[in-house]
Amino acid sequence: MIPETFSYVEEKLPEYMCIAGNVEGYFIATLLRRFTVYFDSHQIHEFPDSRMCRNMITVNAHIGPLKLQLLNTHLESTVDHVDERVKQLNECFKVTLEAPEDTTVIFAGDLNLRDKEV
């Protein structure tokens, strides 16, 4: 998204809580349906070596007693950045594996992966 699109989405979808991965440039966002998925907290994980300002959002939420950790990312793109993309993917896996055992993790996003990279 870009800031203008994010504002538009917030305006047009008031039944969703919109969580942005940044406030400028091109960024990711996670949307939670209000009164269904309840927001607890979020964290933005920067990828320090990203040349494209990529990051990952983790959102802690719950549906009733079910604890959720939602991971959303957009990894580095193009074949020229394969090493950074794989590094970013491994960081996402690390965060996924560190989630508490009583938490369901959903990991999604634009991974830009090619078969040989996995």
Of 83, 102, 110, 115, catalytic: 110
Active site residue 110: yes
Say if CB 18 and CB 3 are below 8 A apart: no
- DSSP for 57-114, written as a single string: EEEEEEETTEEEEEEEEE---SGGGHHHHHHHHHHHHHHHHTS-TTEEEEEEEE----
Could you give the residue numbers annotated as active site? 110
